[in-house]
Amino acid sequence: MDNLYYKVKLYLEANSKTESEFSNIKLRNDGSGDYIHTWNVSGVAKPTDSQLNALATNATKEYNNVGVRATRKEAYGDIGEQLDEIYKDIDAWKARIKKIKDDNPKE
């Protein structure tokens, strides 16, 4: 269902719609595969299998990137800790730049 979700998402975006339209779409799996059960998107026709299949490569990328973003988010850690790291690194950076400027003054 995930890949169909991303195919539909890309199809909506290509037709100037947003992910908010998913409230008007119902995806299902009947055991033989995923399909669009309900499509009530104003101004956009339900996509054909051919149209959706044309989006398969980019949908797979989207699906994989969601996993990458989740992994990165977890690895980044708490925002407070990140800000603390930046604060500490900025002081070290300032000291290093000052030393370089002091060692190499302008004339």
How far the first Cα of the chain sits from its last, in Å, is 67
Q: Say whether 78 sits in a helix, a strand or coil.
A: coil
- The reported pLDDT for the residue numbered 52 is 96
pLDDT tens by residue, the chain, 107 residues: 569 999 999 999 999 999 888 899 999 999 989 999 999 999 999 999 999 999 999 999 999 888 888 888 887 778 888 788 778 888 887 676 788 888 876 65
- The reported pLDDT for the residue numbered 43 is 94
- The reported pLDDT for the residue numbered 107 is 55
Model-level pTM greater than 0.85? no
Residue boundaries of the structural domains of the chain: 2-76, 78-107
* Structure-token pair, residue 85: 């790291």
Strand partners, 29: 34
Pick the CATH number of 2-76 from 3.10.20, 1.10.10, 1.10.760, 3.30.56: 3.30.56
Best CA proximity match to 3, nearest among 67, 65, 59, 75: 59
- The reported pLDDT for the residue numbered 1 is 59
HSE at residue 23, side-chain half, CA atoms within 13 A, is 2
Tokens 């300032």 locate to: 94
Name the helix (H) or strand (E) containing 50.
helix 49-53
- The reported pLDDT for the residue numbered 101 is 84
